[in-house]
Amino acid sequence: MSSDCLFCKIANGTIPANKLYEDDELLAFWDINPQAPKHFLVIPKKHLTGPGAVTSKEAGLVGSLIAKAGELARQQGIGDGFRLVLNNGIEAGQTVFHLHLHVLGGRALGWPPG
């Protein structure tokens, strides 16, 4: 837990979020500023600053993160067309420095991304 981290505060319940899923390791909640009809975030409760901070030590956790994202996408009816996004660093658009996997779907998604 990092005391000034927004997503640590959501993970520990200090700040509310519209949750879809929670277990001991992971939390999924709807993005406050959705970029697609379905847009939610899946985070590890453990504080990691972003995908660039992931090491082989977190391989199992990151595997669980992706597996849960797919499972929730299927549950939300977007299993046949969704995008997973991990932004790393300001230049890539990262604004919250706690690892979070975006899950976007419910519309056609263009490529390349902006």
User: Rule CB under 6 A: which residues touch ligand 5GP?
Assistant: 6, 17, 29-33, 87, 93-96
Greatest distance between any 2 Cα atoms in the chain: 38
The CA-based angle 37-84-104, given to 5 degrees, is 0
For residues 104 and 55, what is the distance between their CA atoms, to the nearest angstrom?
Answer: 25
Binds 79, which of Zn ion, ligand 5GP, none (CB < 5 to 8 A, cut-off by type)? none
98 is catalytic: no
**Token pair 């690892």: residue:** 99
In terms of CB distance, is 30 or 67 closer to ligand 5GP? 30
> Is residue 98 close enough to count as binding Zn ion by CB under 5 A?
yes
Q: Which residues are catalytic?
A: 100
